A and B are shown apart, each in its own frame.
Chain A
């Protein structure tokens, strides 16, 4: 089989292609509509109108009650940092934060820092072997000392979805602010924040076919808020700095498209994902799906191939024009495999071989066929090299090296 043109891009949880319609909306902002929206003249006013249009699109995608609840930021990381830092500044007497062990580093690294340098008590709620949050541990961690709970809507590695509404209501019951990093969920899961207990929500443009460097933070009306960036009056003084107008308009266009395509993500894309997953599981011995297959994003499939290492898998996939991603240590430059795989108790021999295929509405059936055709051969080739694998018997064998 030949490689489909331009390769097969199945790494959409890392980033997505900018939709051509999004790009078309953005281009005039670089040329004729280059004004500063803060300016009095017509050049500025034209841009200001486009930004407010974009804000309404994001509001619609989130089902927010007011467009002023949307603050444009530089992306998911800034939104997460702003949410947590804002709330601990607004509630200085509350010295505890609740989060989960499987969060994105944008939350985890900040919490580590607050724990180490500012003496915050951090509750990191564990997950079970399918990546489901330990609700009892969560309940036990909640108290009136908790300033903010920050728990992701859907996990970036496995796609596993957390029961955000339930978690938010539990947090509200003890008077804690509830923030969710919904970077992976927005555009794939229908939302109506107007009727929700969620106080704050982070989203990132480039995960939903908008450009990189743009995101948003939803802040429920009436919530105490302290800006992270101080300066001009942009974003109603909640995020100073001249607006990234082209990217904001791009995010608006992408939000509009995401709402249109949400049904497709949950039907056609989901069917492609399921077909890919079932074909691989049927053709390759000693592999399994990580996370919770019954409650996850429609586009994500994470398969742990045992006894081989993820970077080697990715390099061979890349030779076949296929882009995927891995929870292996080597792809990140750290020595530990993914904290998400470890948190679920996936053994090291499998965690290093965890490979994530994340689809999008751009994915075609021919691309899925190509991946199904080449994956079994790649896995078999690497297993012939593996000291943990008995090739003739097609099963694992005894191997106990001197560990360092």
Chain B
């Protein structure tokens, strides 16, 4: 007989399951209806119209179901229904409300749902705006939604084959064999969930995934439009909407990727914003092919050339998003990625491979069938025309993405290579240098092209005007390059060229925007986005070339063409510095002093904040010019033994960032503290006790003091406190402490210790010895933690001019939106003309 379990809330799960099924059926119905609408388009326009309406209602029903699944799952998480595996795995009672959404997409199923959700919203917009291409684009979108819906279906076909994994499975079903689940009241023992991974507990986790997934999701729209154009054989009407969608896509995906960079920079200890990590690469590559496709599409619109390449790039972009999902979700990257993704095993691998196969099949079939009908222009483009160089730039972007994906995919093709060569291939030992050494050339060429094509014209060439403008730009850029290279000590010639390329790009964009386009806002999109790209290059170069650890003075090893021996490089790795409590250590221009820590508790999670003072002093006068404090912190996991998860702390200047994080230290002071109390006898006012880094002056006894810890019990109680001024050579100003001595009926009952946490000083008033009216001795017990027992291991890095990078990203995204706005208002105008 089945056990009746107590206290479970099964309704939200059942509803959730129901909506998972309806979302799947809705998408399937919509895809078929749209397909039939296309098939009956010519033969029976009336029934085609009916099918179209069926398709629409199917998609609306599907979207409503997806939103309902969202609500059901959120209800489960928000109400801490730990009988559901998803809530138990990803949330906990103590988790602050703002992270409840983050738990939602921490898991596999939740992030698939986020993706599906964005597809629904974008699909509804396409449904309203695609007009003649609606049936075909929507058939593709609905088909992709069918594929995504299977990911959260969680249905068993036979005992071994499981399709998808539902977020509504119960804890007792997923961990069914544990003896606890034999008890009907098992929920009484499941009192709290696992909680969100501490390294993800960050506001970036709330905002980054939705933006990135919107970026991934919007690659579907250009994909759908391209397939629709091929399907219909109409290579005219898809152009304008595809340009607008690609611009939107470029802006959002670009923002999402760089938000990931900002997150990594701000709160993770990778030591930077970009590490060429496989997961980062997997999201960058679709963006690169998208940008290539966008540019060839612009060429096609103006000249009728490059359609085949455009189709190829835009179709590839969406396929690459699926490939990224395959790389990052199935665990195939395993030992090569720092991102702690876990594989969901073989089922997901095959599932994703099938979906990819379907989408590749559709893309290839559409291209092959229409291959001969794709409009091409036989004549040759002029060597000084915009279309020619834009085309070359796109090809180079494509080649760059090939290189990145080739190296990233080593774990994918490694078994094949082993079979052929017998060697076990591994990623490059120094991946950052590997990518930088190749991609720096791509950046140089693309930077130069991006600036140059601005001045060129489609179809015609005006060599004289072009030469003059480019000449002026090059001269200014050269001067700028020399200035920056001198000022920033950029001596490697490869990076001097990159610096020139970035300067040239920035100057050209500004020159073109202001002097040629006369700063007309609607036209400014390209020059603004190209300016942003140039600034990104400049920011990357300046911050990475001169990035250096100041906790041990070295220059960044990864950004260097020089070949050095492994031993020299290993030496440079020594970037950790040991800071004893209260002992100033020189770091670059600063003196760094570890002055104390404080523990913060939220629920059962402990965060230790380490306070590190930085002071910059004048060399001669020793006067303090500048002073600031950083609080790098560490999460102390209660589950493991003293597991540290660290968050850096950064001091921002307009021209550089000082970035610090803890690599180790004394975790448990009580254990390591070996100090004991020492006695001191004081008689006269002004008597002094010397401390490890300061001193303490006796100022007399008093019956009046404000210590909240003291409460008189009876009338005969008498409390006396000693007034002591503590002078601290580290934190400066004097601090008064008042240890208390309590008497009852003239007998000693207790004392209250006083402390100075920054000095780790503990003072107890042990005894009051009255010799005569004038001579009163007090005995103090003083204990101070040995600084040798209290230390942190710190790493501090300087990133110069990193703000140039962030500003560049913002400017670039702004450029995309300006272009998109201009294109959309154009579309609206032509539409209203057509109506009239």
Q: Do A and B come from one complex?
A: no
Interface residue ranges, B against A (CB under 8 Å): none
Where the two chains meet, the residues of A that have a C-beta atom closer than 8 Å to any C-beta of B are none
